[in-house]
Amino acid sequence: MLYAGLDLSRKRLDFHLLDAGGATVDVGASPPDADGLRSLSERLARHGEPIRAAIESMNGARFVHDRLEFAGWQVEIADAQKVKGLAPLAGDHQYVPLLLTVPGISWVLAYTIAAELGDIERFASPRKLAGYSGLCPRVYQSGERDLRGPLSKQGPRYLRWALVEAATHACTHPVYRDRYQQTKARIGKTARRQGRTDRPRPPTVRGDLAHAQP
Q: Which residues, at least 6 apart from 23, have a Cβ–Cβ distance to it below 8 Å? A: 115
Output the pLDDT for position 79.
Answer: 54
What pLDDT, on the 0 to 100 scale, is given for residue 47?
Answer: 92
DSSP states along the chain: -EEEEEEE-SS-EEEEEE-TTS-EEEEEEE-SSHHHHHHHHHHHHTT-S-EEEEE-SSTTHHHHHHHHHHTT-EEEES-TTT--S-TTTTS--SSHHHHTTSTT--HHHHHHHHHHH--GGG-SSHHHHHHHHT-SEEEEEETTEEEEEEE---S-HHHHHHHHHHHHHHTTSHHHHHHHHHHHHHHHHHHHHHH--SSPPPPPHHHHHHT---
Identify the CA nearest to 30 among candidates 7, 58, 50: 7
Residues 6 or more apart from 170 whose CB is under 8 A from it? 102, 103, 104, 105, 176
Give the residue extent of every domain in the chain: 2-120+157-194
pLDDT on residue 174: 87
- pLDDT score, position 84: 41
pLDDT of residue 172: 85
Block means of pLDDT (10 residues each) for the chain, 214 residues, are 84 86 84 92 92 81 90 77 44 75 83 82 87 80 73 78 86 86 78 50 43 44
pLDDT at 98: 86
Say if CB 56 and CB 64 are below 8 A apart: no
CATH of 2-120+157-194, one of 3.30.420.40, 3.90.1640.30, 2.40.110.10, 3.40.50.300: 3.30.420.40
